[in-house]
Structure 1
């Protein structure tokens, strides 16, 4: 193993390893590294734009904007956010951050000192005259973190990269500017290759214009033109910065490096022009296809499996697994019908209207089969009257009765569950107001309905209920705040029967 550069690697990674270390941010603790990096990035972009809103108060606002972006604003407090910002500006002792590293030359452990922020002298001088605020900028170590994070981004915005190059040239960092120009050229060439692939695909099949990539590209067409205009301005600023650097720093800058940088910048301009040419040629091709060959985009009406499923989906994108193929085409060969309940099941759910009350003896063999006598299904009035007797006794005593669990014993609840006819009468009482007949039913030719028949049987067997004669009864259901009555084998609404005074 080559240990010659281990110390430099160690020093490069120490600021990353200790980012957010030693902070106690409460509920924000699991996200401290993420928030700290986002703050550094926001300050970095402000520097690129020469925006001097980089005082401590401004950095606190940037931290809050990060929390809002990450949807964790509710986890932060003013104290925790300010503690985070202070932990980036200064170490716990108020000075530089410290970390150990291995010194390759002395072959001993050494202490590395660094900061994430330093005072921007030029901006602070102006700021102190106006508002008395200290303006900060990223240190070289923090800038290194930003550049390290760029290396894992495949598609970095070209305009931001141009701002970086301009920033490096402005501060005389020729070597760094040279590296960034080379990286920018490679990325622009990659974008040019992608645009050329789309142009070739468009020539083979105009329908690619309506593919996902084509639709997204059309939406960004205006942004592409604005980006080209912005790049022209950046290149002009870069050339002016190079000229100023050659004049003002001629005693410091190596003119050979400066000449190479100028050549690379000019090469980058030509590469950008090639990208613009490809984009405009695609736009011209799309316009020509739409204007002169509209029939290419006329689709056949309707929907068919071969075109829309097999050719445009399966052949181009494939299937997630082999079982998906059987699921896809199975319906074409073995279509399944919706399940329909057999008619016999429906009849089984119905009750016969007439049941034989007496079991007749089977006829003798060889004899004629006698017809069975059927009578309408009757209600077991003795059992029903026994269950309803406590209800009417409650009416006679206090004027109302509510069907609830506490109104019956466990034995009575069991009988209610096993006697559906008694339960059904609650619904009949609920439909209308019922007046208890003033005379016996026999004198009126019989009860008009089952409710009246139940009342007359109860009055005839219990003289204490005579006080109900002539009374008007109304049945209601308690409001939604009361739950339904649920017993084993029975679930019913909490009915209440009441005497109405006229």
Structure 2
């Protein structure tokens, strides 16, 4: 078997397999894929007509029209329809959708990111001036789903499609020609959007001319110009073929269909002209940059975070989500970060509390008293002891306890993930062996958090008195063993054990 193209096949099918995945739509659940596809199709036809009614509110209305079309409108609720539309516009974390595929070149699983909708920048620019509304358009992946059953022509091979349309008209296949013209209009508009995105990026940062897309486009510029010349010839031939068809087959041809086809061909010509204008404007911008600002293209030696990452990437393109900032800079502060103590927890320790604003207002008048009054951040011992109670119960009964996925219910797993203070104690137990104190000591005299936890558990649960004076040791399971992975938490599998007298210490 030839595996070289398996990854590309996988990447094309991932958006189809995940269409509607992860949505909980109540009674609409069995129909979610069908409804989602119908919404994509309706937006596609709106784009063909240059109709800008493609805001989120408009897409919600399209969803309701699909439900009415399928006679299942009574199963929908405003919440379920809103949830479906949100699930098409964004993934569960508010960013791109993610799927894995196998890359045969690296022989590893790689992560693919994609969207079904992207922002239509030109339409949104006008809309924001009028009503502040964002207008969406289908992404390349969504277009791929629409035309999955057709052979899609590659970029800058439009002439082939024009010849196919011309052949359909010549043989009187008006309906098929109309379908192909619609596909062609969609394809050209997508190319125009890509060119506009490159033009906008070039205006923000001229160095995009050296990006992979800019280099490839420059290499094919002569081919693009030849294509434009060919398209003018093809459109002339198509119009002549339409005229002959109207005269020679007037007894068998539906003139309404023929008129519609003629209008779509003319629209296709206009969108081709728009593409040509954008391409020529890019060529003009590139020429102006090279001629008047040659210093922009002088090579700079080395690589630095500020120029190549922050200025040329983050400031220019932005980040897909808030979590991306943490991922970006975490390597600068902890290159070998241990996943059992993630950076967010360290950041949380820097959070401080201050006196209420009402109190601060009272001292503002007195400049000598204007000092920030700090309230230390405490540990929510009630939540922490509730989570650790089953651990020490098992420790008292069996002599050991292993922190594993199957040791807790789903509800308990979520509580552990939401309580980093409870997780931190596993790390503190791991640092040294703990000898349980004979009696509870005053917490104000430097008692560490591990002893405070044990003391509170024994005080609340007398059956744990048997642990007093016991020596406890915490170890990490074999590195080959599966780590604990819950929503919002990933850590190694820890085991805490009572060490009997005579056993060697760690």
Aligning the two structures, in what range does the TM-score lie when normalised by the shorter sequence?
A: 0.3 to 0.5
TM-score, normalization by structure 2: 0.33
State which structure, 1 or 2, has the greater radius of gyration over its C-alpha atoms.
1
TM-score, normalization by structure 1: 0.33
